[in-house]
Each structure stands twice: as structure tokens, then as C-alpha cells.
Structure 1
Amino acid sequence: MLRKVKEVAELTGVSIRTLHHYDRIGLLSPEHVTEAGYRQYSERDLETLQQILFFRELGFPLKNIGEILQSPEYDKAEALALQREALLEKRSRLDRMIRTLENTIQDAKGEIKMTDKEKFEGFDFTNNPYEEEARQRWGNEAVDRSKQTLADMGQEGQKQIGEQMDTLFRRLAAMRHRDPASDEVQKAIGEWHAFLNGMGHTYSPEAFKGLGQLYIQDERFTRNMDKFGDGFAKFMADAMGIRADRMKG
């Protein structure tokens, strides 16, 4: 079912002006636009809007929301779990602030005496830990740059990049039972490093080694990597670590 922008505004409580703004900045552009130029929102568009509103409620800037939603590593189910945890924490903090406010009213009336510490119970001006976690999972700089590079390539260029990556991975996976420090493996790993550096981000030895560690520390990476062969993620982490150490040496 497709909905007009006015219908979406009435359904969600988001103003038409805000929906137009989201479209203008590329945060939420409806899948369908009529020949007359009218926006029509699909069910998938509404799901994306819900995600945007959850993140907005948690204090995420629009720029960061866009980076998260566009990240290749973005996982909606994981995001919903993170949002639930964050909202529960926010509710708990608001409850503490309400109690502080009620006690302050009583203190002003002389009914109770609050300590200095009690007067500030519930206030928290630290950075949003959930935003930091979301950025680390889905919005890191390397991912942002890589995605922009892919977008600039167009569909045909993206297809070629995908084929090159698949070919590299299959060749490396065939070597996974060999010594990761061997010359043949290190030569192939060097090609993988060069491939990554051509995707819009220069991987320093530390960053390259860190990426290899991510392959085995994040089960999503491990699961996808090991589709090329059992133990492939561990092999890549070891080989990339060796190359990184040699580059630094």
C-alpha cells in the first residue's frame, strides 16, 4: 500500500515539512514518485521512518542516523534491540529526575531536607553511549567512505567490485590451510590490502590489523567469512596481522 505524504504525516505525527526535509537531505526518500511529482511512501519507507524516529528520540543527529541506516553492516533487528535498551534506560533516568523534582518541591516547602547530591539525581550530561555503540557498529568512517566510493561507481562498477572481491576471497579461502606467513599467502593478502585501499579509505597497518581482528571478534563477520570455508575468518585475521606487523617493521 502506497501512502501520500499527507497520509504519512497524519499517521505518524511527523509534519509534511519534516518529511520533505528528510527527502531533501537523502535521509528518507520515498520509493515511488508519480509523474506529477507526488511522493508515495511504501511499507518499507514507513519502517525506515520508524527507525529514524527511534534514533531521534534517543538524541541521534540526523547526519549520524543517515550514516547508520546506509551502512552495509546495519542490522535492523540488532538496532531495535539497542533502541529498546536505550529507551528503557532513558525511562529509568526520567523516573529518577521526576522523583528529584518532586523532592525539590517538598524541599522548597520545608517538608524535607535534600542533600546536595540528591538535588542532581537523574541528571546525566555524558555522551550518549548508545550513539557511540551504534556508530562503532554501523557508522565508522571507513564504511562511510567505502559506501560513497561504491555509490560513485554506479551499478556496473559495483558489480565489478563485487566480482573482484568474491574472486579474491575464493582464492584466499583456498589457501586457508597453509601457513599465513608464507610468501604466497602474504602476496594474496597484499592484494586484499590494495583492494581495500582502492575503496575510498587508506588502511594503515594498525587499521588493517584491526579489521582482521574484527573478522573473528564480530560473529556476523565470522559467519559471513566462513561461508567461503571453515576457519577462513581466523586465517584472514592471522594473515592480515602478519602483513601489518611486517609493514610496521
Structure 2
Amino acid sequence: MDVNVPESMTPWLHVGPAGEPVAPAAEGLTIGEVASLVGISVRTLHHWDSVGLVHAQERTSAGYRAYSARDVARIHRVLVYQELGFSLTTIAALLDDPTVDETGQLRRQLDLLEERILRLRRMAEAVEQVLASRTAGAVLTAQQQAQIFGRGWREDWADEARGRWGDSDEWAQFEENVAVLSEADRHRVREDGETLYTELADAKRTGVAPGSEAANQLAERHRAMVGQLFACTHSMQVCLGRLYVQDERFAATLDAREPGLADWLAEIIDANARLHGVDPDGAVWA
């Protein structure tokens, strides 16, 4: 039976003349051979040796470091944990913990890798959807818009927004983020927005003052809500606050919840922006 084992997945193996995996020589592998097999630099291996992460346990007849199959297997496990985002300190603690079952640890690594592969596959599928939508010139349907912005959202508003901001990076980010939302996600975004605007109206009604801790927290929640659709800086949020006041449609929608809400929301956004080093009078869309 033919054996086909990718070197990248089994760096502790040599490949024989017929392509079959064979164990390292009894004398072990030099640091240069290991670096070549595993795909990392000799300098990295020296560093890992100096910090006690991976030691070459043997020496060649010439006195050089010699890595055994067990040493290289440890390197492979370090690389897997690095791929998963663990620090070298954490990796060393995991690998050197005498209470940890190595087989169980490897199974856990496999589970984590499979979870990451699944996330990356979903991200790739999402990017494919965005590319397909852009190629087809597709936009959100009226129903999808309502699921995000509420029943009061009108399709002509989307057309106007696209004409005003369609060439911006934020609009591209908005379309990409929204394109991958499921129906349930769109419903959740809308419900989160409804909850927040209800709390904003209640805060305005009960006299929460702009600049207070409660008002600043609400302003940050508003920025986080917008951030679900595109990255929103404090300066950009100030620009949105101006729009809420200056555009009669936005002002009417907000003030229908609580008289004066549009102005008050702009005020708490401005006050919170000052707290984060942004002068509202000079705020720009950036």
C-alpha cells in the first residue's frame, strides 16, 4: 500500500527514495535539518532552546545539537499551539505539565484545529457570497433592510445612502458584513437596536445628563451597535450624531420615541467623544 504523508504535517519523518516515510537517523537530526523539515529558522530553534521550550536532547558525533524524533514531535506541537494563538510561555506550561495526558492533549489540539478550520471555512464562504453579490450587483432586499433597520426603513433611503456613501470604505465594509448575516442575525441586530433606542429614550426622559457616566456608557453602546455593521470611530459617530439632528427624517424618527431625543443623542455622543480626545467641532468622517 502506498503511503503519502505530507512533510508539513509530520516534520519528524524523513521521506525515503520511494516516497515512504522513514524515521530519522539514529544519530538524530542537526538543527539545520530540523529547520528545513519543519519550515522555521535556525534562529528560532536557537531561541526556543535558550528559553527552555525545545531542547535538543542529543549530540552528534561531531558535537552538534541532534534532535530526536521526540524532540521534533515537540516542535510540531509548539507550532500547532502557535497557530492557535498561544504564547510561548503558555505552550511551555502546557507541554511540561506532568499531570497532562499527552494523548489527550493531542486530541484537544486536533479539536481546536478543527474548530479553527470550520471558522475559516465559514469566513471563506462569506467572502465568496460577498464576491458573488458584488459580481451580480446585488443589494439588500427591502425585507433584509427591514430586518436590520426596522419596519420604518424605506428602500429609497438605502438608495440615497448608497449614492452618498457608496464609494467609501465604510460602505464596502457595511455591505460585506451585512451580506454574511443570516436572517436570525439580522433580526438580532434590529432587536438590539430597538432595545438600545428604548433605553436612550428612557434616559432622556429621566434626565440623564450628557457627559455623565450613564450617558457615556449609552454613547459607547450606540457606537458598538453601529460597529456591528462597519468600524465606527468616535469622530465618525459625531458625524452620525449631526446627521440625526440635521436630517428631518432621522430627527422625526428619533423624536417620535421621545421629544428632543435626536438632539440629546447628538449631545451625549459629542460629550463622550471629548472624553476620548475628539473635538466634536472638528470631527470628520475618519
What TM-score, normalized by structure 1, do the two folds share?
Answer: 0.46
Q: Which has the higher contact order (CA 8 A, sep 6+)?
A: 1
Question: Which has more helix, going by share of residues?
Answer: 1
What TM-score, normalized by structure 2, do the two folds share?
Answer: 0.40
